[in-house]
Amino acid sequence: MKAPRVPTSKRSISKNREENLMIGLSPQNNQSDAPHPSNTGSSGQANGHFSTRLSKINTDQRSKSTVYSGRRQSRRVTTAAYIDAFGIPPIAIPNAHLGYYPSILFSFVEQVEAMLSHHRRILATSFVLSTTGPSDDNRLISRFFHRLNKALKNRYQELRLGYQWVREMEDSDRHHYHVVVMVDGDRITRWDKISELVTKTWLGLTGLRPHFPQNNHLRLRFDDARKLTKLVQRISYFAKARGKGSGAAQAKNYNTSRIKPEYNNTSKQR
């Protein structure tokens, strides 16, 4: 089995790699004392294309830098400052010092990779779904995706839908979901086509309107390092430790689509 096509972009990442791009966080809270891996001899370029690993750069000289191998190996919270993904320079995780779950972030990266193995471009759109009251399970979000998937395929035949959702509850007695969906960016080029169906579906289930933050969508290619970096930094907010664990013990904190990668796909070369 051959590996996916090599991303060859040499476009530089913005100097403001620590710029806060996450939903609901202010720039002044985006702090990291960790040096960039390229300046410490750690990690650097990913080994192989579309490989992902997590690097913890510890400024305490008594501790060695720790590299987590694998993708979903840890269900524990980490403060790792950077991840290597997509064969591009290491991506700084905003507010990593507050803690996040690498398993959540890795599962999203895997679905981005899988979608980009099928499509030359993808359109990613994120939003927040509020609920009307507490719940110990996630049947509501399952019904939402069942209806949304059906509505999309009625309008766009055989459309592939990638997604991730995370469940959170913080200062209220109602949980909410942070959601990102991904579709073929050549078939659907405008995010409002997605938001229209999302709104109609969630209104029909709960009577509530979804919240669409500013700058909530990206249309990108597999070789666009700048946009891939933005996407991972935005979605890293989903993985934050705060707010997780609401509901019964069997209720998941997150879930993703199950898109399988397609190898030997030459469509991205055109």
Q: What is the pLDDT of residues 118-173, one digit of tens each?
A: 999 999 999 999 999 888 899 999 999 999 999 999 999 999 999 999 999 877 77
Q: Does a structural domain hold residue 15? A: no
Number of domains in the chain: 1
- E strand or H helix at 68: strand 66-68
Quick check: is 53 in a domain? yes
Q: How far apart are the first and last CA of the chain?
A: 22
Q: Which of 171, 177, 150 is nearest to 251 (CA)?
A: 177
Give dist(CA 206, CA 193) in Å, integer: 21
Whole domain around residue 119: which residue ranges?
27-261
Instruction: Give me the mean pLDDT over the 53-80 stretch.
Output: 49
Residue 77 is encoded by which pair of tokens? Answer: 């919270």
Rounded Cα distance between 228 and 234, Å, is: 10
Q: Could you tell me if residue 5 is inside a domain?
A: no
Query: 222-258: per-residue pLDDT in tens?
Result: 999 999 999 999 999 999 988 776 555 557 889 999 9
User: Cα torsion for 188, 214, 93, 84, to the nearest 10°?
Assistant: 20
pTM of structure: 0.75
